[in-house]
């Protein structure tokens, strides 16, 4: 696999602080992570290195990026090094001043705000009192200043019945062009609250059916890279292929799911470089101590991750006798690690066979799936 000379993009956990404590947050509650922030100067020095490496864009996440008082200064550092940026946020700390600043940079690809309910009762249930009002206010503030707004809806047990109303709010009332969806995954804080927030098999099925129906109604304005909508599309194609005895999918049969490490890398809030925010335990070096280019090109753990696609699913007892192997990619290594303790393992959470064995039913197949936008560059929660 030909690797780029340097990463094209970098995800940066610019802070470990957040004003919320969402019950399914993937970020907090990880024993492998030291939750501390770096001073402004450390980040600015790192951005200079990114400039020398010709990195094209950064995604600022956390934690909650807008909690940092020096955020404008950090963004100036990004801009002066010829990069564009996006921000992942809960939206509650966005005011006119910062929105105006973001607009004036002309380099902001988007601010993604999380919205998990059509109203405070559902959204606040997992995110905290007042968070819905804050998120909507943040969105409207960004819109007023013409900052591109993206919205991510994380689907969990409390909002799975609210999806139609959420779509109406986002696409009709707030007039967003589109929004993306994901599901609460067995990571971080969600592990402690899994029984309360994670989707059951029945919930997953309902979410798939609802989202597929909504996608048709809203003409492709709902997208997903993971979660029930993505699963609905991919699993139906796998089921159809299996029924027809079709040839293996081009990337099927091996651990090919993750391609992030071929173009991006992640940095934790404490400055430790990791392959991705879903693999925070894989420490590759520290910014301003290790050369980013050397880590990218030479670190053995990253090299091993890039060879993951050569591991056939038939090598795993978990996949024994599975008829979907030729069409399956094994899904996210981060989820695989958190559930099995192994990065080089298919993710049990994204297993079609398991879903069916647990009583799940696939909603629809055929031409109705063709228009669904899956695999777009939707951001992580």
Partner 1 sequence: MTVAKEKTKKSVQGKAKKPIGNPTVVLREEFDDWAILFNPDTADAVGTNPVGVAVWKLMDGRRTVNEIVAEIKDQFAEVPDAAAKDVLAFIKDLSQRGFVGYELKG
Using CB under 8 A as the criterion, which residues of the chain lie in contact with partner 1 when the complex forms?
A: 2-6, 8, 54, 56, 79, 82-84, 106-107, 109
- DSSP 3-state of 322: coil
Q: Tell the smallest beta-carbon distance from residue 259 to partner 1 (Å).
A: 17
Alpha-helical runs (H) found in 2-70: 40-52
Q: Tell the smallest beta-carbon distance from residue 27 to partner 1 (Å).
A: 28
Q: Which is nearer to partner 1, 23 or 264 (CB)?
A: 264
Q: Which is nearer to partner 1, 76 or 109 (CB)?
A: 109
Q: Which is nearer to partner 1, 41 or 263 (CB)?
A: 263
Instruction: Output the CA torsion sign for 279, 280, 285, 291.
Output: positive
Q: Which is nearer to partner 1, 157 or 264 (CB)?
A: 264
Q: Tell the smallest beta-carbon distance from residue 51 to partner 1 (Å).
A: 8
- Do residues 257 and 234 touch, judged by C-beta distance below 8 A? no
User: Hunting for tokens 């990253």 — which residue is that?
Assistant: 302
Taking the CA atoms of the chain, what radius of gyration do you get in angstroms? 20
Sort strands 285-286 and 272-274 into parallel, antiparallel or unpaired.
antiparallel
The per-residue DSSP string of 129-155 comes to: TTHHHHHHHHHHHHHHTT--EEEEEEE
Q: Which is nearer to partner 1, 8 or 251 (CB)?
A: 8
Burial class of residue 109 (count of CB atoms within 10 Å of its CB; 0-12, 13-18, 19+): middle
Quick one: which of 246, 247, 253 has its CA closest to 322? 253
Q: Rounded to an integer, what distance in angstroms lies between the CA atom of residue 205 and that of residue 163?
A: 13
Q: Which is nearer to partner 1, 83 or 230 (CB)?
A: 83
Query: 142: which 2 tokens?
Result: 């960004």
Query: 307: which 2 tokens?
Result: 């060879």
The phi and psi torsions of 85 (rounded to 5 degrees) equal: -150, 155
Q: Tell the smallest beta-carbon distance from residue 109 to partner 1 (Å).
A: 7
Q: Which is nearer to partner 1, 192 or 298 (CB)?
A: 298
Q: Tell the smallest beta-carbon distance from residue 49 to partner 1 (Å).
A: 14
Q: Can you name the residues that pair with 84 across neighbouring β-strands?
A: 57
For the packed helices 120-127 and 131-144, what is the interaxial angle rounded to 10 degrees? 110
- Do residues 314 and 323 touch, judged by C-beta distance below 8 A? no
Q: Tell the smallest beta-carbon distance from residue 357 to partner 1 (Å).
A: 45
Q: Tell the smallest beta-carbon distance from residue 309 to partner 1 (Å).
A: 19
Q: Tell the smallest beta-carbon distance from residue 176 to partner 1 (Å).
A: 20
Q: Which is nearer to partner 1, 297 or 340 (CB)?
A: 297
- Do residues 58 and 50 touch, judged by C-beta distance below 8 A? yes
Quick one: which of 255, 222, 234 has its CA closest to 378? 222
Q: Which is nearer to partner 1, 201 or 262 (CB)?
A: 262
Q: Tell the smallest beta-carbon distance from residue 295 to partner 1 (Å).
A: 17
Quick one: which of 132, 219, 207, 197 has its CA closest to 169? 132
């Amino acid at each position: 696999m030909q690797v780029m000379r340097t990463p094209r993009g970098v995800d940066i956990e610019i802070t470990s602080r957040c004003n919320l404590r969402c019950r399914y947050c993937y970020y907090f509650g990880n024993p492998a992570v030291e939750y501390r922030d770096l001073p402004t100067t450390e980040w600015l020095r790192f951005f200079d290195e990114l400039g020398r490496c010709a990195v094209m864009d950064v995604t600022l996440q956390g934690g909650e990026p807008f909690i940092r008082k020096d955020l404008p200064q950090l963004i100036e550092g990004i801009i002066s090094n010829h990069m564009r940026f996006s921000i992942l946020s809960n939206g509650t700390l966005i005011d006119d001043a910062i929105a105006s600043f973001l607009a004036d940079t002309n380099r902001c690809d988007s601010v993604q705000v999380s919205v998990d309910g059509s109203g405070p009762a559902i959204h606040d249930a997992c995110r905290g009192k007042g968070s819905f009002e804050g998120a909507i206010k943040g969105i409207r503030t960004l819109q007023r200043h013409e900052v591109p707004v993206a919205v991510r809806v994380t689907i969990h047990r409390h909002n799975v019945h609210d999806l139609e109303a959420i779509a109406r709010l986002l696409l009709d009332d707030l007039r967003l062009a589109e929004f993306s969806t994901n599901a609460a995954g067995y990571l971080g804080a969600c592990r402690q609250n899994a029984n309360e927030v994670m989707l059951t098999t029945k919930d997953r099925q309902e979410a798939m059916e609802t989202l597929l129906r909504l996608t048709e109604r809203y003409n492709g304005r709902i997208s997903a890279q993971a979660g029930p909508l993505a699963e609905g599309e991919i699993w139906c194609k796998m089921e159809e292929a299996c029924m027809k005895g079709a040839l293996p999918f081009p990337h099927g049969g091996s651990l090919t799911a993750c391609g992030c490490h071929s173009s991006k890398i992640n940095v934790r809030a404490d400055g430790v470089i990791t392959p991705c925010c879903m693999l925070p335990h894989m420490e590759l070096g520290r910014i301003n101590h290790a050369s980013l280019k050397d880590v990218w090109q030479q670190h053995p753990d990253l090299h091993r991750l890039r060879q993951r696609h050569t591991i056939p699913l038939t090598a795993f007892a978990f996949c024994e006798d599975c008829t979907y192997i030729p069409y399956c990619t094994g899904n996210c290594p981060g989820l695989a690690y958190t559930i099995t303790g192994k990065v080089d393992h298919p993710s049990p959470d994204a297993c079609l066979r398991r879903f069916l064995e647990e009583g799940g039913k696939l909603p629809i197949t055929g031409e109705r799936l063709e228009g669904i936008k899956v695999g777009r560059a939707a951001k992580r929660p």
